[in-house]
Structure 1
Amino acid sequence: MATDKIARKLFLFFLIAMVTFVPFTVQEQTQVVEASKNTKEAVISQSPDLQAKIDAILSDERLLGTSTGVSIRNADTGEVLYSYHGDMRLHPASNMKQLTTIAALETLGEDYQFTTEVLTDGSITGNVLQGNLYIKGKGDPTLLEKDLDQFAKDLRALGIQQINGDLIGDDSWYDDVRLSQDLNWSDEQFYTGAQVSALTLSPNEDYDAGTVIVEVTPSDEAGGKAQVKVTPETDYVTIINNTEMTAAGGSKSISIEREHGTNNIVIEGAMPLDGSRSRSWVAVWEPTGYAMDVFKKSLEEQGIKLVGNTDVKIGVTPENATLLTSKKSMTLEELLIPFMKLSNNGHGETLTKEMGKVVYGEGSWDKGLQVIEEVVTDFGVNGDTILLRDGSGMSHKNMIPANEITQLLYAVQDESWYPAFEFSLPVAGESDRLVGGTLRTRMTSEPAKGNVKAKTGSLTGVSTLSGYVTSADGKKLIFSIMINNYLASSVRSIEDSIAVTLANHTFEE
């Protein structure tokens, strides 16, 4: 989204905030919703029994002082069956990922793949590459160490045993802005706030790009230090081990933190001799250099030596460079499984930049968010009442009403890629983490189990759940529950109660 558009929306928001607020009753909130070009006119279909049930759930004292919006639609007609502050702008948390996914499917297509290329501006003479070797990233968040190993094997198969030139990482496919504008400083060291680069690396098949896995386990002697393992092995991070082994039976107090602005990972605390493993996904600072360090190790393991005054650095691949080898990622449809089921923030931001690059030739948040807004408004979302700030939902400044989310989920059902979208949603009570995802431990009994398919969302003071459920009499329903500004330890049971009520409900003819 362009900066001036954001400014206009913020100005409108503050003007509205200055007007005296008059609380609305549930009945007053139940109003005609403006029709879009993609829907039949969405009108309230009174269901007094359902309204009474949901009203009773929303009387929970944990919601006192919160800003809560609930919207329920008939999935076949788009009719709004229930709306409680459904037009109130609220923070969606990871429900934002639904907008990003829908825009990506519409813009890129379910068969879209990312590409990583290895190129040279030189030539192979004997067993020596006379020239620079470039690895050009084009956003693939699923690149693994084994892929870099394969690149090295491919180069060795071409007869290359020495490189007389620089090893250059090219991340210019996207801009050099690594973090979305509203990410909290305290989130930067964790996998949930990892930096975004067009050339990056994931430590395992959860595909948390731009992170390393740090594991702390007991060593053999009290008074010594705990053992620390980093995956993948890399010299790009520096481990500062300040741990102490203590007697068996004692309490464990291990902390793993990266110092801001550096790749120093400090590990502190006590580890008992019989202590359990501590493990953390730590986001690295400047992930392009991380990918290059691991690639250099891959080359060395294949016996490919850097000779002369060779340097490892960041640069841009010449247009006339020769392609030596490349790799395509899994398809977007496949990527949506770890993205949506496990709520992978990095994937949301990468897809946002990729859409900006593909549509407008600029891999930036501004252009990517512009694409997302254009797509969702084409599906009937009112662009005048939303504010989009990132692709993952980590921002506390994203704003969208519950009625707009259910409108979007209604409008996309006729799209050819809709089955891929619906399949990506977490499924209540299904224990397989790549099926149930973030709902695998929630609503574990029928009729909600295996029936509720919805995206969760969680930030400090924010909890959301939006998706689909089939009622007891076979009606497919769309719902969005958005709870903001809560102070209770959890309000998820309120969301679950609403979803279970919908699954149990029978509509009067």
Structure 2
Amino acid sequence: MALLNKGILLVIIVSIFLSGSTPNAFSSKALAAENHKKATLSTALESLLSTEPELKGSLAGISIRDQESGNILFEHMSDLRLTPASNMKLLTSAAALKVLGEDYQFITEIYGDGRVQDGHLKGNLYIKGNGDTSLLAADLEKLAKEIKKKGISYIDGDIIGDDSWYDDIPYSVDLAWSDETTYYGAPISALTLSPDKEFDAGTVLLEINPGKKVDEPVVITSIPETSEIKIVNKAKTGDKEAGTSLKVNRKHTSKVVTVTGRLPVNASVKKEWVAVNDPTTYTLDVFQQALKKEEIQWNGTVKKGVTPQIASLITTHSSIPLEELMIPLMKLSNNTIAETLIKEMGVVKKGEGSFEKGLEVLEEELIAFHLDPNNMLIRDGSGISPIDFISANDLSLFLYEVQAEPWFATFSQALPVSGMEERMVGGTLRNRLNTENTKGKVLAKTGTLTSVSTLSGYMESTNGKKYIFSILLNHLVDEEKGKDIEDQIVEILAEY
């Protein structure tokens, strides 16, 4: 037996000698090849970063990792804290999935504080919101039908909207006044309403069509119809060659929405979303319309208030599950959903639906992903704050760590997919990275603020290698040109 083992050993030694290699030589060659590949990638990226004129005077934090091992393959200013813009939603989404769960639903409740007799509710009717950003006018109509089915056709009291599930602070700390009328700056309320299935809660959708003739007023339809906005139509129909120059404006705290500019006579419908001043009264207004449609009457007023503990539950409506809500949140970069999730985590974990408590929960959850919140500055959940700060290395590490979570498939599938034209697939990347090397191979979250452009996510190269990347570009003169730089970086990476 000993002689046999010696013989085998001799054969191995002779074979290695004849091949001119050793086991260490094999590993050295592999290491050398990998180092060469790294050097080539680094050379290509550093060349771009050093010669790109748009980056002169700007800051570029970049971190690229191997998706399987998490090892850093390239970094540039990677530990510098920079503004992530909507890349913040990566952190908020992951924390929400971890704290609330994929199946979590938001419940809208209808209560009465009196007994029902002969079709009369002898008391007030309450609609209590619990943070459902997916609530539609059609859902309010269903609730009204359920109330009618319960035998209630007359309310001997008030219609009361209860938004007490969250506190009364509608905006995150750094939201600019100029953003308050926009769809991405809508106020946060526990009782809110969305005009369509993109779920921009707290907004009204204006569908604007040209008139039949040049110089006629444009035709504006509000979805849903509500007295919470008052439209002043100053926009005109332009000739076929004229460009679209529509502007929609609502002044701070005002209900008046002024539409100006021109829309060509042959133009298709133009859609504009405008935030309301008070989502709770907006929801109440549409709810009372639904009650009237079911011929339910009342003798009191329509107002805001708090549901008393003695009230009895009449019916409820459940939102879509969180895993479905992740699609518009991530693909369309929905700020209102993100900020609502912050408050919801505050309620669930701290017993208080506030930005302060919700952000405490977010920071606590980041520790589980091996991130140190003390090295960051987190001011909101959507990334609209210009002084949210995080490093590219922290973001890429986070993207590596979340792969181990049981809900990672939901998280990753909610990310925009490069070059995919379908809005709820490609999202904010539907018109980007659509070359042969990158189309459909990049799953990443975009981010844009004035002077800021960011992109972080996952990608597969042409040879099947998978990467994690985070690109944070700050202090840009033109943030739109920052997107071109991000795309160039990803295209380079696709070749390695």
Same-fold status (TM-score > 0.5): yes
Matched, 1:499 2:490: yes
Match of 2:218 among 226, 247, 254: 226
Q: Distance in 1 between matches of 2:456 and 2:264?
A: 43
1:419 aligns with 2:429: no
Answer whether contact 1:45 1:79 (CA < 8 A) is retained: no
Q: 1:318 to 1:483 in 2, by over 3 A?
A: same
Q: Distance in 2 between matches of 1:98 and 1:385?
A: 17
Name 1:49's counterpart in structure 2: 40
Structure 2 CA distance for aligned equivalents of residues 271 and 388 of structure 1? 41
Question: Is residue 2:104 matched to residue 1:124?
Answer: no
Alpha-carbon offset, residue 140 of structure 1: 0.4
Checking the alignment, whether the CA contact within 8 Å between 1:240 and 1:267 is kept in structure 2 is yes
Could you tell me how far apart the structure 2 residues matched to 1:98 and 1:393 are?
10
- Who is 2:261 aligned against? 269
Query: Is residue 321 of structure 2 the alignment partner of residue 331 of structure 1?
Result: yes
2:294 is matched with 302
Equivalent position amino acid for 1:58 in 2: L
Give yes or no for the alignment of 1:165 onto 2:157.
yes
Query: Paired residue for 1:389, among 374, 379, 388?
Result: 379
8 A contact 1:203–1:213 mirrored in 2: yes
- Alignment equivalent of 2:205, drawn from 195, 208, 213: 213
Amino acid at match of 2:312: T
Give the match for residue 6 of structure 1.
none
Give structure 1 regions of 4+ aligned residues with deviation exceeding 6 angstroms.
none
Q: Which amino acid aligns with 1:418?
A: F
Task: Give 1:435's match in structure 2, choosing from 415, 418, 425.
Answer: 425
Q: What are the superposed Cα offsets for residues 377-401 of structure 1, whole Å, 9 maximum, x if unpaired?
A: 2211122210000111110010000
Q: Distance in 2 between matches of 1:272 and 1:430?
A: 29
d(CA) in 2 for partners of 1:269 and 1:428?
Answer: 34
The AA in structure 1 aligned to 2:122 is: Q
CA distance in structure 2 between the aligned counterparts of 1:389 and 1:429, rounded to whole angstroms: 32
Deviates more, 1:356-365 or 1:494-503: 494-503
Runs of 5+ unmatched residues, structure 2: 1-33
The amino acid that maps onto 2:99 is: T
How far apart are the structure 2 equivalents of 1:376 and 1:228? 45
d(CA) in 2 for partners of 1:313 and 1:72? 53
Equivalent of 2:129 in 115, 129, 137: 137
1:398-417 superposed Cα distances (whole Å, 9 cap, x missing partner)? 00000000111111111111
Deviations 1:266-291 (A, max 9, x none): 12234554455332100000110000
CA contact (8 A) 1:45 1:81 kept: no
1:198 Cα deviation from its structure 2 partner: 0.3
Q: Pick from 89, 102, 125: which aligns with 2:81?
A: 89
Query: Using a 3 Å threshold, how does the CA distance of structure 1 residues 174 and 500 change in structure 2: closer, same or farther?
Result: same
On the 8 A contact 1:426/1:437 being kept in 2, the answer is yes
- In 2, the alpha carbon distance for the partners of 1:205 and 1:225 equals 29
CA distance in 2, matches of 1:45, 1:238: 64
| Structure 1 residues 73 and 311: CA distance shift in structure 2, 3 A | same
Determine the structure 1 residue equivalent to 2:352: 362
Q: Secondary structure at the match of 1:436?
A: helix
8 Å contact from structure 1 (residues 249, 274) kept in 2: no
Secondary structure (helix, strand or coil) at the match of 2:260 reads strand
How many angstroms apart in 2 are the aligned matches of 1:271 and 1:468? 40
Which shows bigger deviation, 439-448 or 60-69? 439-448
Q: In the TM superposition, what whole-angstrom CA distance separates every residue of 1:392-449 from its partner, at most 9, and x where no partner exists?
A: 1110010000000011111111111111111111111111111111111111123311
Letter in 1 for 2:370: G
Say what the alpha-carbon RMSD is for the aligned residues.
Answer: 1.7
Alignment of 1:10-409 (within 5 A): 47-59=38-50, 60-220=52-212, 224-245=216-237, 250=242, 252-271=244-263, 273-307=265-299, 310-409=300-399
Give the TM-score normalised by the residue count of structure 1.
0.87
Deviation at 1:341, TM superposition (A): 0.6
Please report how far the alpha carbon of residue 241 of structure 1 lies from its aligned counterpart in structure 2 after TM superposition: 2.1
Structure 1 residue 250, shift from structure 2 partner = 4.8
Shift of 1:321: 1.3
For the residues of structure 1 that align with 2:456 and 2:261, how far apart are their CA atoms? 40
Name which of structure 1's ranges 55-64 and 126-135 shifts more when overlaid on structure 2.
Answer: 55-64
Give SS of 2:459's match: strand
Deviations 1:318-377 (A, max 9, x none): 122111110111111111011101111111101111001100011111111111111112
- Larger-gyration structure (1/2): 2
**Equivalent AA in structure 1 for residue 173 of structure 2:** Q
Equivalent residue of 1:351, what SS?
helix
CA deviation profile, 1:92-127 (whole Å, cap 9, x unmatched): 000000000110011111111111100111111111
Instruction: Please give the secondary structure, in 1, of the residue aligned with 2:431.
Output: coil
| Partners of 2:237 and 2:339 in 1: CA distance | 40
Secondary structure at 1:337's aligned position in 2?
helix
- Among 425, 450, 456, the residue aligned to 2:446: 456
Mapped to 1, the partners of 2:275 and 2:383 lie a distance apart of 18
**2:59 partner amino acid:** S
How far does residue 54 in structure 1 lie from its aligned partner after superposition?
Answer: 1.2
1:462-490 C-alpha deviation (Å, 9 max, x unpaired):
00000111234433211000000111351
**Secondary structure of 1:333's match?**
helix
User: Match of 1:503, as an amino acid?
Assistant: A
Q: 1:160: how far off? A: 1.2
Cα offset, 1:45, TM superposition: 7.5
Specify the SS of the correspondent of 1:435: helix
- The aligned counterpart of 2:3 is none
